[in-house]
Chain A
């Protein structure tokens, strides 16, 4: 398939030797967007971000400009937090950015902090990303020495202190309020919302939280202008997006695409599709938290609204492809076990629901289940959704629910086959019923 000519904003020459150093980054025009932004008023910078209509790249897809405008005006301590926890299974785009072009992220953070009026910023990076955190630390030291970060940035009067904070391995800390608690040095339990972090976040102050990719796009938006950026992509999903493709594909990796191209083009055109002789069985369009889609959905345009209309979501932009050699039960089991492990335990529907779902799946696999258990499992999912402080439980319930809905025949066949192995016929009463 002919490769589509797509604009490249974030990945431009990303493997250029030394791009992660200030010298090469500046030679390529780095930090000129910051100079341009500092010559404008913060309101003008914010206006550019609003015009660009960029939506958050972390998962929820909330408009970045709108989010900034929620921060109250005034001289109180305000914070900017860059969410670099990137632990959604299947997602590894931020890793590539932070490792290879950390200055782009730092430049975006300084510009965003200028627009939002925050004087303190933190990058919360997951503890497993040691290499990337080292790269960020080195880049931050260079940026500090060059006056791009710190007191009175480039004599503009804007000051920003920036700290790279390493997490210690917890998926829930990618949830924004869990992240804030973790950054405050506590267990990463999510908080009740509202108040939203924009009003009361880190250390009780107004806090802007954005994903790495969102912030790294800011220099490009300022450089080309908000209207030009908005011409990329489609109306409700502007710009380019980094997509992490993994699972059963020939060329797994990160690709920068223009939003709105057919999903087939990403999975087959860029990533090469499943291994020869196999077919796509299902795919997660936005990390393991997104409801699965089937092969017939491959022509859906890859953008926020089209995927939402198809009953799934773009999420963090992580496509996981599962081919027809894998039983759906194995996929469901992996997903459910992950969320069981990562549930923080604060809300009952999530803590117990994830645990129950794993047990139901184990019963199915062991041949102890009846078809009625599928109904029970589906109803457990319905009772999790919307009933917790954060969406971790939903993040299991949505894909599991979609697998049950779309592959019910296979679940039933699995039950029958496993029961037959146990000497329980299709019509035999359940021996295990209590």
Chain B
């Protein structure tokens, strides 16, 4: 066992064997050249019994908040197949619980009559469903190509720094670099609690966080909702002759 590569392979193989034998320890070691599928280093508890559908066949039924239950049932009624309601139902539960916690998943599973594992498999696939606790206000900074050409990477750094300096720290803001948010015309931009704002400068960052913290409309003058189309041929009349669109508050 001479080269570092061989050593790594042996160590990793041993770690994988320990895991296969049911020894769960920390983030699981994976081969460094492997792909980074989300959740790739989370240990699996092989001792755990598979969870059944909550509230069915004698398994305990969780208490589901009435509003949440009503919302999920309204979603279920819209589709020919109840499974289709998984995304809207998980999004609704996330709004109540802050993230897709085991508790939230169990409640959705109970109303939808599916296993928690099924919902877990769905929740881990989608970027907007959080599978670990996050800050109250989401700040998604687009870092895809058009935005990064216009300085999005510096912007994300600045937002991260400012959010980290916030008194409430990580519990207050969920700052993430996000893939293309579909607003390259206002690059660099961010989605703050679901409201698109841009083009942003580094000077906008404190105001942006303050507005989100206070529950005010975020940077009203920079909201996408108020932006006119760029095409000079689109409008046959001079707009805007009217009051601008109302600014939006985050969800």
List chain A positions with a Cβ less than 8 A from chain B.
3, 5-6, 8, 11-17, 77, 86-92, 95-96, 99-100, 120, 126-131, 163, 165-171, 182-188, 203, 244-248, 251-256, 270-271, 284, 288, 318, 320, 322, 326, 330-331, 334-335, 338, 340-345, 351-352, 354-355, 359, 434
Contact = CB atoms under 8 A, between A and B. Distances in A.
Given A128-B182, A184-B83, A246-B146, A15 B191 contact: no
Given A169-B128, A322-B149, A355-B36, A14 B234 contact: yes
Contacts of A129: 182
Contacts of B149: 247-248, 320, 322, 326
24 contacts: A3-B233, A11-B229, A12-B234, A17-B239, A87-B179, A96-B229, A168-B91, A168-B127, A185-B86, A185-B87, A186-B121, A188-B126, A245-B230, A247-B187, A252-B185, A270-B231, A288-B180, A320-B145, A338-B145, A340-B36, A344-B125, A355-B36, A359-B33, A434-B3
B114 to A, nearest CB: 9
Contacts of B121: 186-187
B148 interface: yes
Nearest to B82: A185
A166 to B, nearest CB: 6
Given A17-B242, A89-B145, A355-B36, A246 B185 contact: yes
B225 interface: yes
A170 B125 contact: yes
Given A12-B234, A170-B127, A163 B183 contact: no
B184 A6 contact: no
Contact of B91 (A127, A345, A359): A127
Nearest to A164: B78
Contact of A256 (B84, B127, B233): B233
B153 to A, nearest CB: 9
A171 B179 contact: yes
Interface string B71-85: 000000011111111
B37 interface: yes
B184 A244 contact: yes
A184 B84 contact: yes
Interface string B100-111: 000000000000
Contact of B240 (A15, A95, A203, A255): A15
A252 B5 CA distance: 49
A128 B225 CA distance: 14
Contacts of A168: 87, 90-91, 126-129
